[in-house]
A and B are shown apart, each in its own frame.
Chain A
């Protein structure tokens, strides 16, 4: 079974600085998708960024970018110019086909003003 591991339960960063959240996963498949979701306190989960495993190019969305290392099964999220609104739980997730997401345990990100 596929597993996703986020080794950083909590991270903090100064406003306007850059922070990187780590994620590793385990799979024997070659075709899959990876996601980062953000869950602000008491609010719903929203998509941050999506990566297709067959694409070598790292996905970017404005201040958010990933470092996808397929051979190492690593998928880290970099947040540049951190803002107070970035404070949330961040979940890394794995998807094969159009089936279930497998989530990591999450990383709580705090932004210090």
Chain B
């Protein structure tokens, strides 16, 4: 079990640029979650997938954000036309699909928008 991995670990970009993050879940986990964490705060839910289906999106996820999970394996989160307010840690987590299952987190991608 190699755990949840995320790439890149850090991303610095200029305002208006597009960025894409990748998450590889634990291999046998059907559910994959994206959260956003700003400094000194708890993570906030963005979206989650059951296999390749995106089941819920938060109102935090504006139309500049899009997430995919093709083939139900890895997932990507893209932010278009980045803004300074997008600067945060983006966390990915995965879990089996049973009720109450623990979510296991990756190391996160820290985004800085200049």
Q: Which residues of A contact B (CB under 8 A)?
A: 4, 33, 35, 37, 43-47, 50, 52, 91, 93, 95, 97-106
Contacts and interface: CB of A to CB of B under 8 A. Distances in A.
Contacts of A103: 42-44
Contacts of B93: 101
A11 B99 CA distance: 33
Contacts of B44: 103
- Describe B's contact surface by its main secondary structure: loop
Categorize the interface residue count of chain B: 20 to 34
Interface of B: 31, 33, 35, 40-45, 48, 56, 58, 91, 93, 95, 97-108
A98 B106 CA distance: 18
Residue among B35, B58, B95, B105 with max Cβ neighbours from chain A (10 Å): B105
9 contacts: A43-B107, A46-B105, A47-B102, A98-B31, A99-B56, A100-B48, A102-B45, A103-B42, A105-B41
* Prevailing SS type, chain A contact patch: strand
B110 to A, nearest CB: 9
B39 to A, nearest CB: 11
Contact of A52 (B33, B100, B103): B100
Contacts of A47: 102, 104
B108 A104 contact: no
B100 A95 contact: yes
B100 A97 contact: yes
A5 to B, nearest CB: 11
Contacts of A93: 42
Contact of B45 (A43, A52, A97, A100): A100
A99 B43 contact: no
A106 B100 contact: no
Contact of A101 (B45, B98, B99, B107): B45
